[in-house]
Amino acid sequence: MRVIGIDPGLRACGWGIIDVDGPRQRHVANGTCRPTGTDMGDRLLSLHQLLTAVLVDHAPDAAAVEQTFVNRDGAGSLKLGQARGIAVLVPAQAGLTVGEYAPNAVKKTVVGVGHADKKQIDHMVRMQLPGCNPDSPDAADALAIAICHAIHLQSSGRLVAAMQS
């Protein structure tokens, strides 16, 4: 199974792709989409095109996006929400169901602590995916989201299989 994780952003949108075979996870690719344009419409269109190209190139079977947290800057949260909308729309257009995870859930799954910092996430992603070199903190976060989703999918699959026995 191939999983893409997306860390939405209007300036830098991280993406990371892993292959999952049972308990084994292998890094496939990662990167950072940097949308261009001067107005919001142009930036959102650019983000849509960049993410679509990633999905076409790598053909994931599953997708996950980090949920937006609301901070003190309401305008900033709304803009991030628009980028997140594109990050959910692109995999949905490709026919994928999109998992959504709170930042603390991703951190707890990958690092073991719900309030880990960017360096800890990067370190644990590199430990769990040997040989991977995230091109930005956003790409490392996206790989962490993919790892979290893969673990969630595997555990739900085991639960469903156990219930059918």
CB atoms within 10 A of CB 18: 26
Q: Is 19 assigned a ligand-binding role in the annotation? A: no
Asked about 117 being catalytic, the answer comes back as no
- Please tell me the distance from the alpha carbon of residue 73 to that of residue 48, in angstroms, as a whole number: 24
CA contacts within 13 A on the Cβ side of 48: 13
Residue 138 assigned to a binding site: yes
Residue 131 Ramachandran class (φ > 0 left, ψ -120 to 50 alpha, else beta) = left
- 73 flagged as catalytic: no
73 appears as a binding residue in the annotation: no
Beta carbons within 8 Å of 51's beta carbon, 6+ residues apart: 6, 13, 15, 33, 86, 87, 90
Would you call 19 a catalytic residue per the annotation?
no
- 135, burial (CB in 10 Å: exposed 0-12, middle 13-18, buried 19+): middle
* Catalytic one of 7, 42, 57, 122: 7
Of the residues 61, 66, 122, 135, only one is catalytic, namely 66
Distance CA 16, CA 130 (A): 14
Phi-psi region of 142 (alpha: psi -120 to 50; beta: other; left: phi over 0): alpha
Which residues are documented as binding site for Mg(2+)? 7, 66, 138
Which residues are documented as binding site? 7, 66, 138
Active-site amino acid positions? 7, 66, 138
